[in-house]
Homo-oligomer: A and B are copies of this chain.
Amino acid sequence: QSVSAMKHSIIESKPCKRLVLYYHDILFNGTDVANATSARAANGTGLGNYQFGMLVVFNDPLTKDHHLLSPAVGRAQGFFFYDMKDDYTAWFAYTLVFNSSEHKGTLNIMGADLMYAETRDISVVGGTGDFFMARGICTFKTDTFQGANYFRLQMDIKLYEC
């Protein structure tokens, strides 16, 4: 099928697939190898007081509810870094990896996490396996932030190409 440059009419409220997941990040403090799920690969740079340039690699569990100890339905593998000098904002790129009876495959995601906003949208740019050639939007919402070492995001994933 041949298509030319197109003004699509996808309706934002009607995804063809939707997944709501919770992402749990426990930053390595140097000794908690058993619990930690992420670690600092580069330190902040001193440009301002909000960890500008600090880069964190993560391999974080995904659960269906808020609880850290609920069964993981997948992992989020990737990185983020902080990128604002007078407040916290971050930039994420990662893969959701599923390998359960419910879903097998991956979703690849990237975009800016404008943490000052209550919700913020980033892009689902591709998928594999059950999510072969998917595209869509992932909406972040901060669920909790506990000091420097634990935070939890709600990720509301809406696919418009399935």
Residues of chain A whose beta carbon lies under 8 Å from any beta carbon of chain B: 1-12, 14-16, 28, 30, 33, 36, 38-42, 45-48, 52-55, 57-59, 77-79, 81-85, 89, 91, 93-95, 97, 105-106, 108, 110-112, 114, 121-129, 132-133, 135-137, 160-162
Nearest CB of chain B from residue A82's CB, rounded to whole Å: 8
A interface SS class: strand
- Which residues of B lie under 8 Å from residue A12 when comparing CB positions? 132
Instruction: State the number of copies, please.
Output: 3
- Which residues of B lie under 8 Å from residue A45 when comparing CB positions? 28, 39-41, 57
- Contact between A133 and B10 (Cβ–Cβ < 8 Å)? yes
- Contact between B1 and A10 (Cβ–Cβ < 8 Å)? no
Partner of A128, one of B16, B47, B123, B128: B123
20 A-B residue pairs with CB within 8 Å: A1-B3, A2-B8, A4-B11, A5-B14, A5-B15, A7-B16, A12-B132, A36-B85, A39-B47, A39-B53, A53-B57, A59-B89, A79-B81, A93-B93, A106-B121, A108-B110, A108-B125, A122-B128, A133-B135, A133-B160
